[in-house]
Amino acid sequence: MTIEYLKRSKSEATRKEDDSRTRAVVEATLADIEARGDDAVRALSEKFDNYSPDSFRLSETDIEHLLSRLSARELADIRFAQDQVTTFARAQRASMTDIEVETLPGVILGHKNIPVQSVGCYVPGGKFPMVASAHMSVATAAVAGVPRIVACTPPFHGEPNPAVIAAMHLGGAHEINVLGGIQAIGAMAIGTASMAPVHMLVGPGNAFVAEAKRQLFGRVGIDLFAGPTETMVIADDTVDAELCATDLLGQAEHGYNSPAVLLTNSRALATGTLAEIDRLLTILPTADTARKSWQDFGEVILCDTYDEMLAVADDIASEHVQVMTDRDDWFLDNMTCYGALFLGPRTNVANGDKVIGTNHTLPTRKAGRYTGGLWVGKFLKTHSYQRITTDAAAARIAAYGSRLCLLEGFVGHAEQCNIRMRRHGGENVPYGAAVPHREAAE
């Protein structure tokens, strides 16, 4: 296997140093929110967003006023995108069915899919107003039937962003708060006098938001670790350098620490893409952010074969993977570790981010090795139940249960089975003893 890096990102050691500093800041901030509640939240909002309204929660009047500032075209575009997301989410929900089966005569087993009862949806918006993130979290939670949906987004240029608030409201949020960063995540999870805590946190965010979710996991559920945006372009000589460079920078502009990787078996495409990136950075309005991201976190990896490209891609497990080759379906069939795939040159990650309908909250930092992205199923808990309807079934299961409990040394467990055998099987099992095996009965 011959793999050549024409450009490398920051070292893993440097990234770990950054993570360590972030972890310490988040830990101290969450402790402050735990101790001081609303006072800490307000102080943090003043410090980081210069924003301190009478109430962070918007009233119905506030929401109506903000929606009135949008044009009919803007509202129609928001509704169109939201419709695509909810249409796909409803199809996914329909694939999840409750079941009940009689596994033995008189033994009924089943499961039910029950919505999480309260969810906190974080919608980033301090640098760019992430309208689409509201569809992905709020609207998807609504499709799942979550009865309490709390939404938080930071102020944009010192005030609520009308488009983000519209997407939250139209998506079905019950409580909308103009609150960002660690303070929003902490308030939703820990709770304050003005905000009841939720059972689950969802949504993407910067490194501090992602770390806050990580530290709060266990106290509340989370969707996944959705940190800074990652993108990978897998391409061969069926596409050109301008297309690859455009798709890499399109995601690098998210933030200063957004990894962007070109994985190719064409040296000409690799070197051409490097040159095109340099050219595009001279005309891209968001070049200050994209340039820093590409400088520190961009990579160009040259492989000899498609099998090598597949192995490298699965090892990196990038959040967004755009595949533009002469064998896109081969990658679909064989890739196992990623957030979402974007197949062929006609589609792109921006489609998935904004409008096409699949969810854009996806696993980052190799989490695609063990989880997929946010979807309607993340808002549902699958709970099992059991029922025994006959004395014969109760006795049959009790006999096996009694012996298996004692095999492990659990006498109290065994007695739960034994008392059923005495009452429903008519056998006076000595206390703490195993139900004897009888071939005909079992």
pLDDT tens digits for 274-306? 999 999 999 999 999 999 999 999 999 999 999
Which stretches does DSSP call E strand in 3-70?
3-7
* CATH number 2.60.40.10 given to 17-96+108-222: no
Whole-number pLDDT of residue 104 = 97
Confidence at residue 17, expressed as pLDDT on a 0 to 100 scale: 73
| Among the ranges given (74-83, 121-130, 267-276), the one the predictor scored with the smallest mean pLDDT | 121-130
Res. 67: pLDDT tops 90: yes
For 27, the token pair is 């830990």
Fold match between domain 17-96+108-222 and domain 228-373: yes
Report which secondary-structure segment, H or E, holds 281.
none
For residues 321 and 313, what is the distance between their CA atoms, to the nearest angstrom? Answer: 8
Inform me whether the pLDDT recorded for 37 exceeds 90.
Answer: yes
Tokens of 439: 């071939």
Task: Look at the pTM and tell me if it is higher than 0.75.
Answer: yes
CA 333 – CA 134 distance, rounded (Å): 31
Residue 439: what pLDDT? 75
Residues in the chain: 442
Tens digits of residue pLDDT in 106-158: 999 999 999 999 999 999 987 889 999 999 999 999 999 999 999 999 999 99
Q: Which two tokens stand for residue 250?
A: 């399109």
* Stretch 409-414: mean pLDDT: 98
| Residue 442 confidence class, pLDDT cut points 50, 70, 90 | low
Binding-site residue set: 122, 183, 206, 229, 251, 254, 320, 353, 408, 413
Residue type, 4: E
Known catalytic residue at 74: no
Q: State the Cα–Cα distance between residues 362 and 322, nearest whole angstrom.
A: 14
pLDDT of residue 440: 60
User: What pLDDT shows up at residue 2?
Assistant: 82
Question: What pLDDT shows up at residue 127?
Answer: 81
Q: What is the mean pLDDT of residues 392-413?
A: 98
Residue 190 has pLDDT above 70, yes or no: yes
Average pLDDT on 345-353 reads 95
State the burial class of residue 169 (Cβ atoms within 10 Å of its Cβ: 0-12, 13-18, 19+): buried
Residue 226 has pLDDT above 80, yes or no: no
Residues 172 and 63: their CA atoms lie apart, in Å, by: 13
pLDDT of 441 strictly over 70: no
Catalytic residue among 175, 276, 319, 415: 319
Structure tokens that stand for 138 in this block:
């709020």
Report the 10 Å Cβ neighbour count for 70.
16
Our answer to whether residue 65 is catalytic in this structure is: no
Q: Which CATH class is domain 228-373?
A: alpha beta
Beta-ladder partners of 175: 150
Q: Please name the residue that has the structure tokens 């007695």.
A: 415
Per the annotation, binding residues for substrate are 229, 251, 254, 320, 353, 408, 413
Mean pLDDT over residues 377-383, rounded? 97
**CA-based R_g, the chain, Å:** 27
> Strands (DSSP E) along 219-308, which ranges?
221-222, 231-235, 260-264, 298-303
Q: Is the pLDDT of residue 34 over 80?
A: yes
Write down the catalytic residue from 135, 320, 360, 424. 320
- Ordered DSSP codes for 110-142: EEEEEE-S-EEEE---SSS--HHHHIIIIIHHH
Binding residues for Zn(2+): 251, 254, 353, 413
- Alpha carbons within 13 angstroms on the beta-carbon side of residue 263 total 30
Non-local (6+) Cβ contacts of 99 within 8 A are: 110, 111
User: CB of 226 within 8 A of CB of 203?
Assistant: yes
**Domain residue ranges of the chain, discontinuous segments joined by +:** 17-96+108-222, 228-373, 390-441
pLDDT score at 134 = 96
Average model confidence (pLDDT) for the chain?
Answer: 95
Judge contact between 248 and 233, C-beta under 8 A.
Answer: yes
